[in-house]
A and B are shown apart, each in its own frame.
Chain A
């Protein structure tokens, strides 16, 4: 039986045949490749939703910060210091130490004394806060962060763990790894072992060692078009398939590094099913050692797709969650929580 990776060639045939004159017209109006808009119509089912999505991608995302309690035990101190600089902040309801910036201050957020002192981590949207909250590591966990650089989620997990337990942060990119090291040091993180290597080799080094793992996979970024408009035209379908293949290999290696009963949180900053549901489906199909479980987030996120261009996906994939800019006011994002059996 052919797998979900192989099914992507069928998907591509169907995408091409679904490109109508309306799809081409909307793609041209918003500056996208036609095949992308055809996929959005398949995912969202209505032109109204597609246009809302495309309009949301045109809007700026509010910046946000996560106050770092590893360096400032009283988060109110950082908030007060930023207010003195002219900033207005509103709390993020589902992450107790995070704030949306509603009014900028006199000094850029990346240059305040509080930033240099490790008082906060700076985000360009809110969705990046979701994976650590969903995985919810504690000080008794051994956590793998399989694509860790530049360290936003690593430092977030370290904070959730109260600086205790263990995080092994792995990434392969040299320059991004330096940024990771800098962020770990700036934010006073002391429960991380940082390892520059290909994450696919983690099982060889550690065996089944971790109780929890986060794979915020490298992706095409089809959820963060607000931050990089070039993404409207720079990703071909072949690029998506290449990204999918790598993500499958990374997710398999991540699953192989986790002890039975442990959890793996797979996420991407992409709304492309090829990188999301199809990656999870391919791993589910090839292993009976893993299942999808519900994500413990009290947010009204959208379920994973059950079908895409006529290709049915495993039932469990519906338990994954999709984040859309036009529905949730964040970057486009995908989250899926897996339990290792």
Chain B
């Protein structure tokens, strides 16, 4: 694995997914990219930069650093943001984007690693694109999962049956219970 501090790839992906206003969530941070078969992205505050520099200068790489921002990939979805980053984006924007609000029962099911169904989807927030990342938020405003949308717009939900899948979940917070000590490459089911 190798790591590099700085670079615009994260900003490009965040702006592409959530709009230019979402870049406010990255203010005050410098991205760090660590890559092997995929690229993990971290957000570093200034206080961390000297320590990271000393680590890299010694020929080592950090296992993780700062705020985990997500994973860059070669194929679609090209960027899977972490739920922490998504929450910050929503805070910066003051609204949800690319989100499905799930019922309490829906959240419970999602945390067992199951997909989000039409019957559990209370609200849908554009833009939504088939095959792209969508977040699953609870009625408490927290992001509980990330999925890949099965629909191309929120209006398509009206045509779905109750048991139809709205998004295939690729990460849910239950992973912290189920997969806390497994290798990081297995984190996303994509």
Interface residues of A (CB under 8 A from B): 110-111, 113, 115-117, 142, 164-166, 168, 175-179, 181-186, 188, 190-197, 204-206, 209
Contact = CB atoms under 8 A, between A and B. Distances in A.
Contact of A185 (B55, B82, B174): B82
Given A111-B177, A193-B52, A205 B182 contact: no
Nearest first, the 3 closest Cβ-Cβ pairs linking A and B are: A190-B67, A116-B173, A182-B180
Contacts of A175: 181
Given A111-B177, A179-B180, A205-B60, A193 B111 contact: no
Nearest to A161: B47
Given A111-B177, A178-B180, A185-B84, A191 B60 contact: no
Given A113-B107, A166-B48, A182 B176 contact: yes
Interface of B: 43, 45, 47-48, 51-52, 54-55, 58, 60, 62-68, 82, 84, 107, 111, 138, 142, 144, 173-174, 176-177, 179-184
B159 to A, nearest CB: 31
B59 to A, nearest CB: 9
A287 B184 CA distance: 41
A185 B68 contact: yes
A115 B177 CA distance: 9
B51 A206 contact: yes
Contacts of A164: 45, 47
A166 B182 contact: no
Nearest to B182: A178
A115 to B, nearest CB: 8
A236 B23 CA distance: 58
14 contacts: A117-B142, A142-B47, A166-B47, A178-B181, A178-B184, A181-B63, A181-B184, A184-B64, A191-B45, A193-B48, A193-B64, A193-B66, A194-B64, A209-B54
A178 B51 CA distance: 21
Nearest to B59: A205
Contacts of A168: 51
Contacts of A179: 180-181
Given A192-B65, A205-B58, 13 more contacts: A115-B177, A116-B111, A116-B173, A166-B47, A166-B51, A177-B63, A178-B181, A186-B176, A194-B63, A194-B65, A195-B55, A195-B63, A204-B58
B51 A142 contact: yes
B45 to A, nearest CB: 7
A137 to B, nearest CB: 12
B62 A195 contact: yes
B134 to A, nearest CB: 19
B187 to A, nearest CB: 10
Given A178-B181, A179-B181, A197 B45 contact: no
A190 B174 CA distance: 21
Contacts of A178: 180-184
Contacts of A165: 47
A205 B62 CA distance: 12
Nearest to B52: A193
Nearest to B143: A117
Q: Which of B51, B58, B60 has the most CB of A within 10 A?
A: B51
Given A142-B51, A204-B58, A116 B176 contact: yes
B174 A116 contact: yes
A147 to B, nearest CB: 15
A177 B63 CA distance: 9
Nearest to B181: A178
Nearest to A182: B180
Contacts of A117: 142, 144, 173
B94 to A, nearest CB: 17
Given A116-B176, A193-B51, A204-B58, A182 B181 contact: yes
